[in-house]
Amino acid sequence: MQSELLLEYNELTTTINALREQAKEKAKLILKQGMASYFEKHGSLVRCITWRQYTPYFNDGESCEFSVHEPVAIMWPVVETEDEEDDGEYSEDSKYAYYAPDFDVKALAERIQVMTDYEADPVAWSKAKVAERNTTMLSSYRYPDNYYITYPPDQCSVEELKLMVIRASQLDPNFKPDTDAVLAFITGMDEEVLEELFGDHVQVIITADDTIVEDYHHE
């Protein structure tokens, strides 16, 4: 009786492992075909699709479990730069990360006005922002009156934002839904499959020509 149960269990385990391997290969094929189709249509705008996946070493007392972080599309810069394009540090904080508002002309116009005010007189802009914050915050969170904001309000310059307006006005109407669909597909993939495909403690970078898996160092 026990040998029959063990045989049945082993057969079930073999079937499960075979199905898991099939799912992995199918996911790999779908991902490859989907990315090829996407970059064929939008490779002139998008440099890469990237995400990080890892098991944290410490999680404030919670169990440390493998997870796949939000994928992002990294756009080609609108002007030639030497800061982020060549250092390979692509993330959701990237200056060139895709966000739908980046292709909304009205939203871009508002950003241009803010940066125009800042570039015209950074000191006056800082004083105005400090005063504005202090009127809405509790006293314990207010800036000192002489506080000076040393960083610009936008990662992009006025020149870059104006070029983004041109790009937004000429955009393929399918670009945003296609990009959202690609990012949603990756987000919806089984994390175990992505771990088997690419590994742990890595950053995955998919370009029109290659899939690059780099070690990702984190806390």
Q: Please give the Cα distance from 6 to 17 (Å, whole number).
A: 16
Positions in the chain whose pLDDT score sits under 70:
1-2, 59, 61, 80-89, 219
d(CA 164, CA 78): 7
B/e letters for 154-178, b = 16+ CB within 10 Å, e = fewer, are ebbbbebbebbbebbeeeeeebeeb
Spatial distance between the Cα atoms of 115 and 125, rounded to a whole number of angstroms: 10
Whole-number pLDDT of residue 35 = 94
Residue 143 is assigned to a structural domain of this protein:
no
For residue 137, being part of any structural domain is answered with no
Instruction: Evaluate whether residue 112 is within a structural domain.
Output: no
Write down the pLDDT at residue 1.
60
CA distance 29 to 26: 5
Query: Which pLDDT score is estimated for 209?
Result: 92
Q: Is 67 within the bounds of a domain? A: yes
- The pLDDT tens digits for 146-155 are 888 888 999 8
The answer to the question of residue 113 being in a domain is no
- DSSP H helices, the chain, are 2-42, 105-120, 122-136, 158-169, 175-188, 191-198
Domain count, the chain: 1
- Tell me, yes or no, whether 132 lies in a domain: no
- Is 114 contained in some domain? no
In this prediction, residue 193 carries a pLDDT of: 87
Instruction: Identify the domain containing residue 32 by its residue range.
Output: 2-107+155-215
Domain assignment present for 25:
yes
Whole-number pLDDT of residue 87: 53
Reported pTM: 0.77
pLDDT in tens, 100-133: 777 888 899 999 999 999 999 999 999 999 988 8
